[in-house]
Amino acid sequence: MGKQNNSQRKENVESPRKEISETEACNMTEKEFRVMVVEFIHRMDEKINNLCKNQEEMESDRATIKNTNGKFQQLQEAEDQISELEDQVQKQAQSEQQLEKRIKKQEESLRELWDNMKRSNMRIIGLPEGQEEQQRLENLFEEIMTENFPDMGKIKVTQVQRVPSRINPKRPTPRHVIISMANINDKERILKAARERQRVTYKGTPIRLSNDYSTETQQARSEWKEVYKVLQSKGLNPRILYPARLSIKIEGDIGASQTKKEYPQITPGTLQPPLPGTCYLSCDPMANKAPATPDAGSCEF
């Protein structure tokens, strides 16, 4: 019996992790019980340490998740700010486009107003400098009329002047002469007669007659200079319509282009390319309805 109790106590001591019943605990010696309690405390310490480690890991994971959520929120806020800025940029761009359209419209209205004020004016281009030293410009104009249009009759002129008022030494060509007429119909008759005559001279020197336009209109018309020369050399009789439209007439049809940029993009037609290696020009009968104010003889650029 004593051996059995000793064996049981020994097993309890050697296997302290097993559950011990009340009866078995009572049969333990004080030493065995102390050993069992110490082992139990060790086991509890290990469990507590493991729990602490797990808690620390959980806290670390929680902090990581919180940090990730914070960064995600910051990213979302940044995306919202970027989206808001993009909307503002788009609105600003739209506002700028609208402003540019309004400015362009105002400039166009001002240009048309200025051109309208100059409707009764005519330019004489190529009249040699110094002629007015011998006689007044008004008399020079009368000489030009007599030399080229003797049947035109008396033309009432309100003002004649050179522009600009001073000679530019860097510009070799003569300054233009502006003729202001009392009757716009007189100007139209002169320009029509000049187109029919095709050659206008002053004492045998070729000069040109043209409408007087604002600086903006004149610059727009000047962009056609090279194209105009080539078309004219091909015998296509080009004309510059108001404000700056190129027009040529082929077998009764009229082809027209609004700007120089459009010229290479016009669809193919019956006309061979007037510019070497460039484009075709198609006929547009609707161009006949456009308001036309072509220059006389050749176009002034």
Q: What is the pLDDT along the chain (301 residues), one digit of tens a residue?
A: 444 444 544 444 444 445 566 677 677 788 888 888 888 888 888 888 888 888 888 888 888 888 888 888 888 888 999 999 999 999 999 999 999 999 999 999 999 999 999 999 999 999 998 887 767 888 899 999 999 999 988 899 999 999 988 888 888 889 999 999 999 999 999 999 999 998 999 999 999 999 999 988 989 988 898 888 888 888 888 888 888 888 887 665 555 555 555 554 443 343 444 443 333 343 333 333 334 444 443 445 5
C-alpha span between 26 and 23 (Å, rounded): 5
Contact 190, 209 (CB under 8 A): yes
Cis (ω within 30 of 0) for the bond into 164? yes
What is the arrangement of strands in the sheet containing 157-163, beginning at the earlier edge strand?
157-163, 176-181, 121-125, 205-211, 200-202
Q: What is the pLDDT of residue 199?
A: 92
Residue 124 burial (10 A CB sphere; 0-12, 13-18, 19+): buried
C-alpha span between 209 and 190 (Å, rounded): 9
Contact 292, 195 (CB under 8 A): no
**Tokens 């290696």 found at:** 277
Alpha helices for the chain (secondary structure H): 2-14, 22-26, 30-117, 137-148, 184-197, 215-222, 225-233
Q: What is the pLDDT of residue 134?
A: 66
Q: What is the pLDDT of residue 264?
A: 47
The model carries a pTM of 0.55
C-alpha span between 301 and 123 (Å, rounded): 12
C-alpha span between 166 and 174 (Å, rounded): 11
Type of residue at 122: M
Q: What is the pLDDT of residue 106?
A: 92
